[in-house]
Amino acid sequence: RPEFALGHLDIPRMKEGGIDVQFFAVFIEDIYKPDRSLKRTLQLIDCFYREIENNQDDISLVTNYNQIKEANRAGKIAAILSIEGGEALEGDLGVLRVLYRLGVRLLTLTWLSLESDSKDNGSLNLLL
């Protein structure tokens, strides 16, 4: 498997760098907001699961501390699934519960976009 370009993450470089635990973030691009945020989130989670399955000898999805330790003892990288931006919830806390069942363990409420016309950050644009 070829390495990705500079700046990207791949398993050989994670191993070379001694990475034991890595957060993998689902990020929703602006073109999917607001009406298709959840659908896009699920597509990306599916992609994440396929990558985990295709690389199961090297990496394992973990959802708690004990699983991190088990993965590391087995010589695997522990992968924690996260989501950048609460748009994925589409205002429904039931979606949060489902995402948790799918393995998501970190969700940021907002994501700082540097695009001047982005409204995703609310008043955070004032900080730039």
106-123: pLDDT as tens digits: 999 887 665 545 555 444
Looking at the DSSP bridge assignments, the partners of residue 26 are: 83
List per-residue pLDDT tens for the chain, 128 residues long. Answer: 555 566 678 999 999 999 999 999 999 999 999 899 999 999 999 999 999 999 999 999 999 999 999 999 999 999 999 999 999 999 999 999 999 999 999 999 887 665 545 555 444 444 44
- Residues 56 and 37: their CA atoms lie apart, in Å, by 28
- Residues 121 and 20: their CA atoms lie apart, in Å, by 32
CB neighbourhood size of 92 (10 A): 11
Give the tens place of pLDDT for each residue, 75-84: 999 999 999 9
Name residues whose C-beta falls within 8 Å of residue 35's C-beta, 6 or more positions apart in sequence: none
In this prediction the pTM is 0.83
Q: Angle at CA 30, nearest 5°, toward 24 and 33?
A: 95
Question: What domains can be seen in the chain, in order of their start residue?
Answer: 11-127 (3.20.20.140)
